[in-house]
Amino acid sequence: MAARPQLPGMRWFLWMRNDVLRIGIYTGVCLSCVFIVWLLVANHIQQLEPYAGVRNLIAGAAEMLLMAIPALRFRGQPAKLFASSLTAWALLTLTYILMEMHYTLLASRIGAFRIFMLGGISICFVAVFQWVFLMCAEARHRHMVESAQEAVSASRHRIV
């Protein structure tokens, strides 16, 4: 059999085989795009100023839906959920830092470090909650299996 031809420069894309990084970077890019559009609409379309509350609600909901991508993809793997979500949030924070350079009043609202910590702590909370939930589910499953095994062994002793 002939070997698959390898295009030059394909090694650079080997990181894309890692689903944690791939989902994290994809989600981070999508979060950054929503954030940039949010800023552009808020600062350059004056006709939507009376609807600022609705605009912010829609943009915040879009950000939360996008952050659900790693949570849903890695729902049984808290460590991968944490790594992927933190990668996405780090990309959003880098975008925030870049936007602070252009929109100078953005830093007075909330700083980039606070944004990163807010997201990181939230992500950590979700990952720990999922880990504890999985541990409780595993303990319940083992208890149910042991109870069933005890019932089977008790019924065998009564028959004999």
61 inside domain: yes
150 inside domain: no
Mean pLDDT over each residue of the chain, to the nearest integer: 86
Distance of CA 37 to the CA centre of its chain: 20
119 inside domain: yes
146 inside domain: no
For residue 67, name the pLDDT band (cuts at 50, 70, 90).
very high
How many structural domains comprise the chain? 1
149 inside domain: no
Q: For 44-81, give one letter per residue: b (16+ CB within 10 A) or e.
A: eeeeeeeeeeebeeebeebbeebbebbbebbeebbebb
Q: Is the pTM of this model over 0.75?
A: yes
76-108 pLDDT, tens digit per residue, is: 899 999 999 999 999 999 999 999 998 888 888
Question: Mean pLDDT throughout 45-68?
Answer: 92
Residue 147 has pLDDT above 70, yes or no: yes
Q: Provide the 3-class DSSP secondary structure of residue 143.
A: helix
88 inside domain: yes
The helix-helix angle for 78-102 and 19-44 (nearest 10°) equals: 30
Q: In which domain, by residue range, is 71 found?
A: 15-130
